[in-house]
Amino acid sequence: MIQSYFDTVQLVERLHRHFLDVLRTELRRLSIEDINAVQALLLANIGAEDVVIRDLKDRGYYHGSNVSYNIKKLTETGYLEQERCSHDRRAIRLKLTDKGMTLCDHIRELQTYLSDEMGKTGLSAAQMDSAIHTLESVERTWTDFIRYGRRPG
């Protein structure tokens, strides 16, 4: 079990880096040079919904100063709009601009293409569902550890 666990942790890290490489490649193909792959992923995670910065952090996607820097950059480059919430002036609501939505559409199209390619290699939806279930179990274990620490025993 311990080796499988270590292999899974390394694979998750490697997959994240590879996915950023995929996004970098797509940004180059689209001749987009004003943002990086991490920022493109942030846009994709925001998508068509309006979100509050705090929600991005609460979902576990991003951390403090990192998300603040990237949001500032995406606003400066015209991919995001920021607006103070009327009911809580401390909260800032984010919304993609038309430029941001266009990039998100390209990323969704890329995801569809990659999904189709995986299907062509024989990877099934059931196999993907099994992988998701396994990774969610790892995530749950890590979340419990962060919240509650080691269990006695």
Task: Flag whether 4 is in a domain.
Answer: no
Task: Flag whether 60 is in a domain.
Answer: yes
pTM: 0.85
Longest dimension (CA), the chain: 56
Triad 83, 86, 89: Cα angle to 5°: 75
- Rounded to 5 degrees, φ, ψ at 62 are -140, 160
What CATH number does residue 44 fall under?
Answer: 1.10.10.10
Bridge partners of residue 84, in order along the sequence? 92
Per-residue pLDDT of the chain (153 residues; tens, 9 = 90+): 999 999 999 999 999 999 999 999 999 999 999 999 999 999 998 888 888 877 777 666 666 668 888 999 999 999 999 888 777 767 788 999 999 999 999 999 999 999 999 999 999 999 999 999 999 999 999 999 999 999 887
- Alpha-carbon gap, residue 90 to 24, rounded angstroms: 34
Domain count across the chain: 1
